[in-house]
Amino acid sequence: MKALVCGGAGYIGSHMARLLAAHGHEVVVLDDLSTGHAQAVQWGRLVEADVLNLPSLEAAFAGQRFDAVFHFCARSLVAESIARPYDYYASNVVGTLNLLEAMRRHGVRRLVFSSSASVYGQPASGMVGEDHPTQPTHPYGASKLMAERILADAAVAYGLDSVALRYFNAAGATADACIGESHACETHLIPNVLRAVLGSGPALEIFGGDYSTPDGTCIRDYVHVEDLAQAHLQALDYLRAHPGAHAFNLGNGRGFSVRQVIAAASVVTGRTVPWDMAPRRAGDPPMLVASSQRARAELGWSPAWTGLEAIIESAWRWHRAQPW
């Protein structure tokens, strides 16, 4: 199979490219390197292109025949999406439309799409299944939900087969510390905890300690990046027998509070995590935990990384190896 990995120089996309290559597939990475890293493209050929730049996107498809596309290109910072919604609708909605049009012109009919648990908004219950109402509370989540709606319409109009995978909190790094999570503007909890421990970042900020949770801090479901990549591979297999547009949650099914993550990181690193309390962030639900029963039943997917400390330890190995 020849696969185009859009956003393959980023965190999850680079893990996807690695897994595809390990299974013997030919990989082409499409990335504009605005947030991704050229050094992360170690599996497959890099084509510098932007989904908002139609000539560069067309050039990436020209003269090639792809069997499938994995779509990771997106802006993904919640606070930034609230401040700059036009940028998010352009990148995440218009950019997706441009990619789908290029796929249609070049006869590519299978897509695995990187979606988000943020499509659900404020959960009405502790465990969130795919039948939970989708009511995003910020432009980032709204842009992902709109892209999913486009995929559903494209299935009917153009015969595009797709799977949207709604991640909860991606975390961790490859077991051999080859690639990991590196963002110029880091907003994810676990890397910020580890940067605070290493002194390569400021003291951790806990955004709100007065939520309606046992210890007052937000609870999230952490799923290892290698498990996410594996789910994408299984989603593509699923499409061979199940045409149409589909959506699945990806999570461990267990929630951990910010304070629990800090405690686990202290155990893994053997160090104290410096932190300060900060005001709540707009759009943060108190609790977001996945029910991934549909992915288990239909995709045959189950996470191999289930322990919080093991997930943090994989990230810790990668962070310690960096020349911060």
Question: Catalytic residue positions?
Answer: 140
Q: Residues 295, 237: contact at Cβ < 8 Å?
A: no
Q: Which amino acid is at 127?
A: M
Tokens coding 64: 């090639």
Q: Is the dihedral of CA 227, 7, 170, 126 positive or negative?
A: negative
The DSSP result for 134-154, as a single string, is -B-SSHHHHHHHHHHHHHHHH
Q: Residues 216, 302: contact at Cβ < 8 Å?
A: no
Helix (H) or strand (E) holding 263, with range, is helix 258-269
Q: Which is nearest to 252 in space by CA: 84, 100, 117, 85? A: 117
Q: Residues 88, 139: contact at Cβ < 8 Å?
A: yes
